[in-house]
Chain A
Amino acid sequence: KAGVTQTPRYLIKTRGQQVTLSCSPISGHRSVSWYQQTPGQGLQFLFEYFSETQRNKGNFPGRFSGRQFSNSRSEMNVSTLELGDSALYLCASSLPTSGRTDTQYFGPGTRLTVL
């Protein structure tokens, strides 16, 4: 079974631009979560989608948004990019089963550099 895939793997943007990142979950997984990883803040939760609905959101400004499609694929968008948005953006998918916690499996990430 193929793992979580993310595109693109690397991206360079300039301040003020906007960016869209894509994530394809493991086949059969319906929950997709996004995390931001930086050296200073570590891994921080952005948001989680299940059946096209955002169920949880982390403490990030409204410039960060996402969506999920009917095939469970997800995109996240960052508008008006700032230098501090430079990070590794990770996507994780999980089943989940019966509403209980379930293991999240991560993709390789998209490395975003904002100049």
Chain B
Amino acid sequence: GESVGLHLPTLSVQEGDNSIINCAYSNSASDYFIWYKQESGKGPQFIIDIRSNMDKRQGQRVTVLLNKTVKHLSLQIAATQPGDSAVYFCAVENNAGNMLTFGGGTRLMVKP
């Protein structure tokens, strides 16, 4: 079955620096990938998504990169702010579109 892994459980960055959070997935047939942000006491919040026919997608201060060759996904946050402090999850949706498989999460800590 699908499995999703995260390389680092905790990432600490200085305010204003760029952050990169990585994620690996196992199913080469996966088509849809999502990054979620979860703050303490809240449910996961959608950040950005990407489909397998794209390599890169940009949002406001965030960029998702997809490398299908090595089955790797990354989230880049530009000019990281204290409000970005949270746990970030990558998720892969199954091809039937009715189930998400989540990575273990990376905690991003932003130092002022």
Contacts and interface: CB of A to CB of B under 8 A. Distances in A.
A86 interface: no
B66 interface: no
20 contacts: A4-B43, A33-B98, A33-B99, A35-B100, A42-B103, A43-B91, A45-B100, A45-B101, A50-B98, A92-B100, A96-B98, A101-B31, A102-B97, A103-B34, A103-B49, A104-B34, A106-B36, A106-B43, A108-B43, A109-B42
Nearest to A48: B98
Interface string A24-64: 00000001010100000011110010100001101000000
Given A101-B93, A103-B34, A58 B42 contact: no
B102 A43 contact: yes
Summarize A's interface: helix, strand, loop or mixed: strand
A14 B105 CA distance: 30
Contact of A31 (B43, B46, B94, B98): B98
Contacts of B43: 4, 90, 92, 106-109
Interface of A: 4, 31, 33, 35, 42-45, 48, 50, 55-56, 58, 90, 92, 96, 99-109
Nearest to B89: A43
A45 B98 CA distance: 10
Given A42-B105, A45-B99, A55-B96, A105 B46 contact: yes
B46 A99 contact: no
Given A43-B105, A101-B31, A101-B97, 8 more contacts: A55-B96, A92-B44, A96-B97, A96-B98, A103-B34, A103-B49, A104-B34, A109-B43
B27 interface: no
Interface in B74-112: 89, 91, 93-105
Q: Most chain-B Cβ atoms within 10 A of its Cβ — which of A43, A45, A48, A99?
A: A43
A21 B70 CA distance: 40
